[in-house]
């Protein structure tokens, strides 16, 4: 096989069907939430009541569809991965159902333990998302145990799901009580924002705080490594069809390694930024320096990879030259080897 050949993606009938069906249902619910947001103008903590259901539906659709595709590549441990994927569907269905129900009632769905009912709902949601994390871990183990013929694609799948696990885990930072909640308990334990109250000024649609830190940012970025890393490889493969410097598997693996390193460093930086109470739109000090180093370091490394591989011969051309100049085997060399009896 040529070193530049691209292996076909898993056929759709190999995808995890419950996850695909769940993703399709999330698309429908996203449309419902978007229409409801136009009709229903009620607000919770400064945002429309249907904004959170809309974001969770869109994010859930993207996440589960990618997970279904990853499971479609698993051969060893497929049964475990299939069952884990089904449990992800069950857990996320409970989560989404409760989010939509509480949005319809114009009540907060996260961090609310003001009454026994709300405490029970929050406990169920916390257990559901913990189950999603554990099941994703099992799927990640299955993906790691199933290397493919293309090292770059194998690395993309493995690094994407491992970073997604980290991103999911960062969401648990939001469940910790703030200093203000410990001093004056008002029925809410946990928060998205750091250094400022929840519900303040935020980015359009996303709602991320523009006045303080926001733990939703590293949670979101890390979780969607599951899509960003494989899509980065798809982009490299498309560029490899036009540019010699990215036409080999080795070159794409090197470029993808840089992309994963940049993504990981960015995730660490935005996590530190959020925990320090610094707004994503106003980076200063060490965060600003780190961002500049990540950007220039990544671009410099990619430029060096392109420069080196542009001078190297294509592996498929080298293989063809070796084949043309290889000696033709003689008649005797094509005969089956003879063995002596002892």
pLDDT grade for 253, boundaries at 50, 70 and 90 = very high
**Same domain assignment for residues 93 and 164:** no
Q: What is the pLDDT of residues 273-295, one digit of tens each?
A: 999 989 998 888 899 999 999 99
State which residues form the domain around 256: 150-171+212-313
**Same domain assignment for residues 132 and 16:** yes
What pLDDT, on the 0 to 100 scale, is given for residue 135? Answer: 93
**Same domain assignment for residues 81 and 68:** yes
Residue 181 inside a domain? The answer is no
Q: What is the pLDDT of residues 164-211, one digit of tens each?
A: 999 988 988 888 877 777 777 777 777 778 888 877 788 887 888 888
Whole-model pTM over 0.75: yes
**Same domain assignment for residues 53 and 107:** yes
% residues pLDDT > 70 (the chain) = 86
What's the average model confidence in pLDDT over 116-136? 89
- Specify the number of domains making up the chain: 2
What pLDDT, on the 0 to 100 scale, is given for residue 341? Answer: 47
> What is the domain-level CATH number for residue 20?
1.20.120
What pLDDT, on the 0 to 100 scale, is given for residue 25? Answer: 96
Q: How high is the mean pLDDT of the chain?
A: 83
**Same domain assignment for residues 264 and 121:** no
**Same domain assignment for residues 238 and 113:** no
What pLDDT, on the 0 to 100 scale, is given for residue 12? Answer: 55
**Same domain assignment for residues 233 and 97:** no
pLDDT grade for 149, boundaries at 50, 70 and 90 = confident
- How would you write the chain as a 3-class SS string? CCCCCCCCCCCHHHCCHHHHHHHHHHHHHHHHHHHHHHHCCCEECCEECCHHHHHHHHHHHHHHHHHHHHHCCCCCCHHHHHHHHHHHHHHHHHHHHHHHHHHHCCCCCCCECCCHHHHHHHHHHHHHHHHHHHHHHHHHHHHHCCCCCCHHHHHHHHHHHHHHHHHHHHHHHHHCCCHHHHHCCCCECCCCEECCCCCCCECCCCCCECCCEECHHHHHHHHCHHHHHHHHHHHHHHHHCCCHHHCCHHHHHHHHHHHHHHHHHHHHHHHHHHHCCCCCCCCCHHHHHHHHHHHHHHHHHHHHHHHHHHHCCCHHHHHHHHHHCCCCCCCCCCCCCCCCCC
Q: What is the pLDDT of residues 287-321, one digit of tens each?
A: 999 999 999 999 999 999 888 887 765 554 444 34
Indicate if the pLDDT at residue 134 is higher than 90: yes
pLDDT grade for 11, boundaries at 50, 70 and 90 = low
Residue 324 inside a domain? The answer is no
């Amino acid at each position: 096989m040529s070193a530049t050949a691209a292996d076909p993606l898993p056929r759709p009938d190999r995808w995890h069907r419950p996850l695909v069906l769940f993703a399709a249902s999330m698309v429908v619910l996203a449309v419902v939430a978007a229409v409801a947001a136009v009709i229903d103008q009620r607000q919770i903590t400064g945002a429309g009541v249907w904004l959170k259901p809309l974001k969770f539906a869109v994010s859930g659709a993207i996440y589960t569809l990618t997970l279904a595709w990853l499971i479609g590549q698993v051969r060893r441990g497929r049964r475990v991965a299939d069952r884990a994927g089904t449990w992800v569907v069950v857990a996320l269905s409970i989560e989404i159902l409760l989010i939509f129900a509480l949005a319809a009632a114009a009540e907060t769905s996260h961090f609310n333990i003001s009454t026994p009912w709300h405490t029970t709902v929050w406990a169920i949601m916390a257990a559901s998302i913990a189950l999603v994390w554990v099941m994703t871990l099992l799927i990640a183990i299955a993906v790691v145990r199933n290397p493919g013929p293309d090292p770059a694609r194998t690395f993309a799948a493995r690094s994407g799901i491992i970073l997604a696990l980290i991103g999911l885990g960062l969401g648990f930072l939001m469940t910790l009580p703030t200093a203000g909640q410990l001093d004056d308990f008002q029925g809410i334990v946990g928060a998205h924002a750091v250094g400022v109250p929840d519900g303040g000024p935020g980015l359009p649609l996303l709602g991320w705080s523009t006045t303080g830190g926001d733990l939703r940012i590293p949670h979101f970025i890390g979780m969607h490594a599951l899509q960003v890393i494989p899509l980065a490889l798809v982009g490299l493969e498309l560029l490899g069809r036009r540019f010699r410097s990215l036409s080999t598997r080795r070159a794409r693996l090197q470029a993808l390694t840089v992309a994963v390193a940049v993504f990981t460093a960015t995730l660490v930086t935005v996590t530190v930024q959020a925990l320090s109470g610094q707004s994503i739109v106003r980076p200063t000090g060490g965060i600003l320096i780190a961002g500049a180093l990540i950007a220039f370091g990544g671009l410099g490394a990619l430029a060096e990879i392109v420069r080196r591989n542009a001078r190297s011969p294509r592996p498929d051309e080298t293989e063809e030259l070796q084949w043309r100049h290889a000696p033709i085997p003689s008649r005797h060399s094509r005969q089956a080897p003879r063995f002596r009896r002892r």
